[in-house]
Structure 1
Amino acid sequence: MDAMSTPDADGLLAEQLLRLTRRLHRIQRRQLEPIGITPAQSRLLRIVAHCDRPPRMADLAERLEVVPRAVTTLVDGLESSGRVRRVPDPTNRRVTRIELTDKGRTALRALRSARRAAVEDVLAPLTPEQREVLGGLLATLVDGPGPHC
């Protein structure tokens, strides 16, 4: 075999990762549908839940890597469903922060369960040892956690 006929190993790996990501997204969408939440809203809820204090809209835009207007749309949807609320910052009344409601915390528990089911579906063929190796490899590839809220 010459160099032109050998498979591009890195290209193949990239394609496999892309296919896996798409599969995870399809499974996740199916799992989220009964909860009545989109994947983007799910990410926003998880970020709000992991912040030490209610984040500002700008913090959320930065963490989600989207423009602030996109965060406004996500927050509007989650607020209208009662899962988050806008609250004034106690030290600067011009700043609005986003906090989870009880309904948002309930949605997060349902989301965690849905994510576990989706991941289990994908990882079912792997042994516990293979899962551990995969976790370590993925941790090496993933960017750092970014700024905290």
Structure 2
Amino acid sequence: MLFGMPVADEPLDVLLGRALRQLRHQWGAGVGEVDLAPHQARALRIVHEDGPLRLSELARRLRIVPRSATEVADALQERSLVLRSPDPSDRRATLLEMTEHGRSVATEVGRMRREQAEAFFGRLSANDRASLHRILTELLDQGE
């Protein structure tokens, strides 16, 4: 019960928002174990999966302004998780790529996230998880 209202009676948008906050809170706690802020962990995952990539592409993928992406890259570089190098196709651009240490940390963060997601969604039956996946995919395909 939240504020005197049974959870089952809450509007769908409120329920979804609460579920996402709970999941983000769990992920944030796990990421804290490797001493990364959630936005840094997200940036590290993007570079790990799709790098090397330009800072401007990281900013686009994180949906932040380029200056903020520079700050995120600075923090990751200070921890020896990424390296910067000039883009051979455009000397004005900078590429971010993973270090060995960065790959190790990204792998660990991914493992923790999968475990936390399994614990969170594992309370649902396989059929319910499949239905939720289908529904969210449909909603996101229409919204983008």
Q: TM-score range by the shorter chain?
A: 0.7 to 0.9
C-alpha separation in 2, matches of 1:69 and 1:63: 14
Indicate the residue corresponding to 1:76 in structure 2.
Answer: 74
Indicate the residue corresponding to 1:8 in structure 2.
Answer: none
Indicate the residue corresponding to 1:5 in structure 2.
Answer: none
Q: Please give the root-mean-square deviation of Cα atoms over the aligned residues, in Å.
A: 1.9
Indicate the residue corresponding to 1:4 in structure 2.
Answer: none
The answer for unaligned runs of 5 or more in structure 2 is 1-9
Indicate the residue corresponding to 2:123 in structure 1.
Answer: 125
Indicate the residue corresponding to 1:44 in structure 2.
Answer: 43
Deviation per CA, 1:17-63: give whole Å up to 9, x if none: 11011101110111111111111011111211232x51111111111
C-alpha separation in 2, matches of 1:106 and 1:85: 14
Higher RCO (CA < 8 A, seq sep 6+): 1
The answer for unaligned runs of 5 or more in structure 1 is 1-10
Query: Whose helix fraction is larger, Structure 1's or Structure 2's?
Result: 2
Structure 1 residue 143: Cα displacement: 4.9
TM-score normalised to structure 2 length: 0.86
C-alpha separation in 2, matches of 1:50 and 1:143: 22
Deviation per CA, 1:79-127: give whole Å up to 9, x if none: 0000001111112222111111111110111111111121122112111
TM-score normalised to structure 1 length: 0.83
C-alpha separation in 2, matches of 1:119 and 1:133: 16
Q: Give the 3-state SS of the residue equivalent to 1:125 in structure 2.
A: coil
What percent identity do the matched residue pairs reach?
Answer: 34
Query: What letter is aligned with 1:29?
Result: G
Query: Whose strand fraction is larger, Structure 1's or Structure 2's?
Result: 2
